[in-house]
Structures are given as C-alpha cells and as structure tokens.
Structure 1
Amino acid sequence: MKKSIRIVRALLIVLVLSAIGWLVAQNSSLLFKPVKTYQISTPLVNVKEHDIDAVMQPYLGLSFWGLNLDLIQAELTRLDWVAHATVKRSWPDRVYVLIEEQKPVARWGAAGLVNDSGTVFYPRDMSLFADFVLLDGPLDKSVEMLLYLVKYQSILNTLGFTVAALKRQVDGVWRVQLLNGPELVLDANQSEASIQRFIRAYPKLSPELRKSASVYDLRYSNGFIVGNGQ
C-alpha cells in the first residue's frame, strides 16, 4: 500500500511539473515570461556579432523557461571561429551568450587551421594566417602532427632553424621544410633519433655544402644524404 502511495505521489508531481511547464510556454498564460534580450558576455576577436545575432533573434520572444539552451548552443558552435558556446538564462528576461573562440596555432593544408588542441577547422577567411606554419597530412593525425611540430622545432632550435612546413605522407615519412632553407626527410619510426644525429653532424659540414643543400635525407641508420636539387 505504501509503495502504491509513493508511486501515485510521484506521478502527481510529474503531472504538476508538466502542467506548469506547459503553462509557462503558452503565450496566453499568466505564467508566460518571454525572452526580451540577449547579451554577449565574452569579447570577440574573429567571431562576427551579426552571425551570433542571426542565431539569437528567432529565440527572442519565446518562453524564458521553455528555451532550448542545448539547441541554441549547438547552433552557435556551428558558426565560423566558434570552438564552444554556452547560453545561460538570467531572470527575468535576459539570456547570456558566452563564446570560446578557436585559437589557431598553424595552418592545415590549403584551407584549414589547427587550434591549440590539434583540432582542424575551416574558417571562411585565411588571409591573415599566411605566415603560420603549414601542416599537411591525414586529418586523423592532426593532434600527432602538432605534437611533432613542437618536438621538431624544439630540437632544431639548437641550430637556429625554424620549421616553415611539416608534412606527414601516407607511408608515415615526415618532410620538414625549414624557413628559407632546405627540407629534412625523416623515417616514420626513427625520426627523433635521425634529427638528433643531423644536429650533431651539421656543424661539421662545409659551408659550401650547407649553402647548396636543398634536401637532407635522414632515413639512414648511420648518416644522411645531402641533395642539392639539381
């Protein structure tokens, strides 16, 4: 009997809450409270305010409590340069929009950028990022490539070299293009050891050989081949 009473009470609570939810969503109800305005609570750099406004305008005038925040957040996240969006209610009639923008650290192929988490995204305008390091490889290897970029650059700092582009071929071979300099070709499995050997050997090369070199093929266990591009 007690169990039955508890079930009945639970059902009544659900029904009451459902009825209240229905009432607050009805324009004709005395309990209806519309959303009148929204406010962007974070500074914007690349995200356009008019893009956010296009998403938010259809929700103004709808029920404050009936607003589908998850749906709005999903729509905002699809906007150019938005990495994450959060929407919060603020009584009595305001909604706050918090935007986390993408933070690019490198280019990806011809039309993409890589953020600081290794995720690739494709903004409409790439004109401001021509000087960023170029990464190119399988899309599912973007995180790995970003990590290797950091690793290779750290090692090459010893010689004052700067990585301009890093490519990972389908067969796993790495191609490191140095800024205003030659290209390094690295084996998939021994890339770090190979580049360390190159760092130790490079100062011993003649100035003439260094000047003419266009490619250093480091895919050998006991040395490397110097190509002059001719």
Structure 2
Amino acid sequence: MWHDAKALNATASGIFAVVVGACVATGVWWLAHRPVFDLRTIRVESMDRGELRHVNLLTLKNGTQGRIVGNFFTANLETVRQVFEAVPWVRRATVRREWPDQLIVEVEEHEALGTWGEDGRLLSVKGDVFTANLAEAEEDQREDHQLPQFSGPEGSEKEVLTRYTELRKWFAPVQLAPQGLALSTRYAWTVTLDNGMSVALGREQTPTTLKERVQRLVGIWPQLASRVQNIENIDMRYQNGLALSATGLKIPAEKPHR
C-alpha cells in the first residue's frame, strides 16, 4: 500500500474530508448554540383563528415554564408540542419555527360538554375526557343550565356521547332533554332528564332497542304526565309496559266484590 501512490492519495483525501466534515459540524454546532439564536418569542394562536376562551398567558406560563429547552435551531418541536398539549384545556397543538427567533404554536381548545365520572374530569363535545378547572366549564353554560353528567366504562366515552346526541333528538318531541347519561359496567343505559326524572333503558339487545323504548315512553308521556305527578323513576325495560315511582304516589284500593 505504501508504494501505491493512488491508494495513498485516496486515503489522504478521505482523512482530509473527514477532518473537514468534523470541523464544519463542530462549527455549525458552535454557531447554532450562540445566544443570538435564543428564542425570544413563543406566539400562541388559535387553530380556527377564533378567540381562545380558556388558554391564556397564565395557564401557558404555569404549564410550560422550565419545560421548553433549546434555541431557535435546537428546540425539539415534537417535545414542545407535547408540552403544550399537557396544558389544561389544550386538545391539540402544532408548532413551527419562524425566523429569526420565535416559535408559532397553534392550539385547539377542548369544548366541555359535561362532567365525566366522579373524579372531576370533563367530557368534551368531541368525546375526549380531560382534566381542567370545573368552575371554568360551568361558566360557559347559561345560568339556567348545569353541566350534564356522564359516566361509563373506560373507553366508552365516544359511545356515550353518540347516545346522548341521539337521546336529545328522541326526547325533543315532548320537550324533555337529557341532563345526564350513565352506562353501567354491564352496558345498561340510564338517562336523567332535565325534569329530574331518571329513565332506565337497559341493555341494547338490538341496534334499535333504545330508540324503541324511548319512542314508547314519548308516545304515552303526555297522558302519563297529566295523571301522575312528581315522577322520579321510570323503568322501560319491560317489553310491553313500564314501572315507575313518584313522590306521594298512592295505589287506589281495590273495590270489594259484591
């Protein structure tokens, strides 16, 4: 090899290229870490260009302080995205660089529909369960409305949301609206209406079981409500009838047979 001029030249050229490459890489690394490239601004915008209702300077500062590292070149955008998505009320975030010294973060907020379970979490209008300040969610409701209450087995959130939307349509003809919906571990449904009444709908034996039971109740509701006051619970799991309980309900005594 030592007598092969071409091989020696090739080897020398290779070593030289490696050295130059290392020097260039070191220079780029050194330059990229200069203070001149420090992040000066992180601008937060709404994905739909609307007004952010719950994500503000205070929540962002509390949620991201000390967790975003690096400068314009070295900040890991995926890590920054995850940091912002961990902030209360943030459903989704995207991050991009904007020369010379800022990051643009676009966020989508959760829109609370009601509470989920008994641990203070919220259910969004898109079927996501998230943790945020319950008082803020309640402020979004009209004064005469409370947050609906939802519950169900883990992973059933979107199914519960779908059933809630359907129940609103099914009860609308008699001016009743669901104010709560529970799916038990046995997958039986119970809906609470805005008049305080609880309706047991049971399990979905067929794809139309719930709809048929609600329609049966809706069909007789005007006559039922006019005859029985203060109904608390109705059980619609009977094939051709129902059972109910009401405050002060009295069963007429049977007339004696003659």
TM-score (norm 1): 0.81
User: Residue 61 of structure 2 aligns to which amino acid in structure 1?
Assistant: D
Whether 2:96 is the aligned partner of 1:92: answer no
Shift of 1:213: 2.2
Alpha carbons of structure 1 residues 59 and 148: separation in structure 2 relative to 1, 3 Å: closer
Q: How has the CA–CA distance of structure 1 residues 35 and 216 changed in structure 2, closer, same or farther, with 3 Å as cutoff?
A: same
Once the two structures are overlaid, the 10-residue window that deviates more, 36-45 or 187-196, is: 36-45
Which residue is 1:174 aligned to?
A: 189
Does residue 71 of structure 1 match 2:79? yes
Provide the rounded CA distance (Å) in 2 between the counterparts of 1:58 and 1:82. Answer: 16
Deviation at 1:116, TM superposition (A): 1.8
Q: How far apart, in 1, do the equivalents of 2:68 and 2:108 lie?
A: 21
Q: Does 1:201 align with 2:225?
A: no
Unaligned runs of 5+ in 1: 1-7
> Residues 105 and 18 from structure 1, CA distance in 2 versus in 1: closer, same or farther, beyond 3 angstroms?
farther
CA gap 1:106/1:20 in 2 versus in 1, 3 angstroms: farther
Cα distance in 2, alignment partners of residues 17 and 225 from structure 1: 82
Contact 1:87 1:98 in 2 (8 A): yes
- Supply the AA of the counterpart residue of 2:181: L
**What's the CA shift for 1:125?**
3.6
Partner of 1:41, secondary structure, is: strand
Q: Which 10-residue stretch deviates more, 75-84 or 132-141?
A: 132-141
State whether structure 2 residue 60 is matched by structure 1 residue 41.
no
Say if 1:206 and 1:71 are closer, same or farther in 2 by CA, change over 3 A.
closer
Match of 1:115 in 2: 124
2:122–2:134: 8 Å Cα contact kept in structure 1?
A: no
Superposition pairs of residues 98-177 of structure 1, within 5 angstroms: 98-110=106-118, 111-126=120-135, 128-129=137-138, 131-177=146-192
Shift of 1:181: 3.5
* Residue-pair matches, total: 215
CA RMSD of aligned residues (A): 2.8
Match of 2:8 in 1: none
Match of 2:7 in 1: none
Distance of aligned partners of 1:192 and 1:39 in 2 relative to their CA distance in 1, 3 Å threshold:
same
Query: Percent of pairs identical after alignment?
Result: 21
**Closer, same or farther in 2 for the Cα pair 1:58/1:180, shift >3 Å?**
closer
> What do the CA deviations read for 1:89-141 (whole angstroms, capped 9, x no partner)?
11111221222111112221230111121011111343642811111222311
Cα pair distance change 1:151/1:20, threshold 3 Å = farther
Q: Is the 8 A contact 1:119 1:143 kept in 2?
A: yes
Give the SS at the match of 1:176. strand
Residue 219 in structure 1 maps to residue 213 in structure 2: no
In 1, the alpha carbon distance for the partners of 2:79 and 2:196 equals: 49
Which range moves more in the overlay, 174-183 or 42-51?
42-51
Q: Determine the C-alpha separation between the residues in 2 that align with 1:134 and 1:116.
A: 13
Distance 1:104 1:20, change over 3 A: farther
Matches of 2:90 and 2:65, distance apart in 1: 15
Q: Which residue of 1 aligns with 2:246?
A: 228
State how far apart, in whole Å, the 1-side matches of 2:111 and 2:74 are. 33
1:22 to 25, 29, 45: 29
Q: Deviations over 1:189-229 (max 9, x none)?
A: 122211111112223336132x1422111001112112225
Which of structures 1 and 2 has the bigger CA Rg? Answer: 2
Amino acid at match of 2:146: D
- 8 Å contact from structure 2 (residues 67, 83) kept in 1: no
Deviation per residue, 1:57-107 (Å, 9 max, x gap)? 6658x4312211111111111111111122211111122122211111222
